[in-house]
Amino acid sequence: MKTLKDLGDLKGKKVLVRADFNVPLKGTTITDDGRIRAALPTIEQLRADGAKVILMAHLGRPKGKVVPELSLAPVAKRLGELLGVNVPLANDTYGEDAQAKVAAMNDGDVVLLQNVRFNPEETSKDDAERAAYAKKIAALGDVFVSDGFGVVHRAQGSDYDVATDLPSAAGKLIEKEVKALSRATESPERPFTVVLGGSKVSDKLGVIENLLSKADRLLIGGGMAFTFLAAKGYEVGTSLLEQDQIDTVKGYIETAKKNGVELVLPVDVVVNKGFPSDDVPADPEVVDADKMPADKMGLDIGPKSQQIFHDKIVDSKTVVWNGPAGVFEIKEFEAGTRAVAQGLVDATANGAFTIVGGGDSASAVRNLGFPEDGFSHISTGGGASLEFLEGKTLPGLKVLE
């Protein structure tokens, strides 16, 4: 994979950078700027090299329409604060305003183009349509740097297609992501523990399948744990359950046994009358995993499970975690996710190599107040890191080879 140093002298060159600025917003307030900060090393390197840095990114799912609430204006503002410079936002992606703002740039300047997903061609399944659109973006720059790890698992116009039009390389973030995930999957120090959570088993079928031949132990929490518990014949009440995956999960339980992979499921669960809302108060109760009431919903792993998960993680040399252990956004059901995060922090302090696999897990560690340097690597790409762990070829990386 080509990296920044393969691009040669960039002084005075217009460098198009695909970043991942898909940050969570409350109104126009960014609630977690982790993805913006993750892009800074590449941007600062390019500025130091005297390049004109033209950034592009998406925000949310506007589905090819201009949705004012999904403008990248809050991102331009926050980025400017972090860099200590003014970052103008073009009001289009490749049109007159983008062209004018790029033409006015001096060496070291930074411009952000408007949300690429305001253009229907960005995510088009029609290769020719996407390629024609990408050429209009490519006309703004001299070289292309791919640094949005969160989008490399899809062939999209501003990422995959632009890379075929210009001399291209991976930015520092993608280089770091690939190095970290490769280290965990290709030559992990053992014991190698994988912690999976989140709501659905179906989201992680490929990962489980691939890791059952690589990991030493698999810890299952979150909503997906209830499909595993149901596969063991347990009552799971009104908890998240994928009935159509029970036979698949039974197969995983067998494969784990056959491969000598330790499969760790919750032994106790924190339940509630339903998902907390205006009508349903948060009234947590701890029950054994095999004694869940039929009218209650599991929303977190229980205290005994928290201790077990923590200890298994600490007793590891490589840990990959993807997906929270419970509904961490609600105080009463955050303890399981907190125990997993603390386990990774303690394992890191013991010299283990630990990865927080993007998406909700990355959001959880920040929202729960854990220091980012408490982990070896926090991935910026939920879906991309999952597909990497599945062993899939990611088009946005392949095109950089």
**Among 200, 214, 273, 304, which one carries the catalytic annotation?**
200
Cα 77 to its chain centre, rounded Å, is: 23
Measured between alpha carbons, how far is 13 from 83 in angstroms, rounded to an integer? 20
Residue 61 annotated as part of some ligand binding site: yes
Residue 204 annotated as part of some ligand binding site: yes
Active site (annotated) includes residue 37: no
Sign of CA dihedral 222, 377, 149, 204: negative
Residue 329 annotated as part of some ligand binding site: yes
Residue 166 annotated as part of some ligand binding site: no
Residue 154 annotated as part of some ligand binding site: yes
**Among 108, 206, 383, 391, which one carries the catalytic annotation?**
383
Q: Which residues contact 100 (CB under 8 A, 6 or more apart)?
A: none
Measured between alpha carbons, how far is 159 from 263 in angstroms, rounded to an integer? 38
Active site (annotated) includes residue 35: yes
Residue 298 annotated as part of some ligand binding site: yes
Residue 153 annotated as part of some ligand binding site: no
Active site (annotated) includes residue 183: no
Residue 20 annotated as part of some ligand binding site: yes
**Among 14, 35, 176, 338, which one carries the catalytic annotation?**
35
Residue 359 annotated as part of some ligand binding site: yes
Active site (annotated) includes residue 50: no
Residue 21 annotated as part of some ligand binding site: yes
Q: CA nearest 194: which of 329, 59, 355, 58?
A: 355
Residue 350 annotated as part of some ligand binding site: no
**Among 150, 326, 343, 359, which one carries the catalytic annotation?**
359
Q: Which residues contact 335 (CB under 8 A, 6 or more apart)?
A: 270, 300, 303, 306, 326
Residue 118 annotated as part of some ligand binding site: no
Residue 358 annotated as part of some ligand binding site: yes
Q: CA nearest 343: which of 195, 236, 233, 244?
A: 195
Measured between alpha carbons, how far is 141 from 116 in angstroms, rounded to an integer? 16
Positions marked catalytic: 35, 200, 359, 383
Binding residues for ATP: 204, 298, 329, 358-361
Binding residues for (2R)-3-phosphoglycerate: 35, 117, 154
Binding residues for substrate: 20-22, 35, 58-61, 117, 154
Binding residues: 20-22, 35, 58-61, 117, 154, 204, 298, 329, 358-361
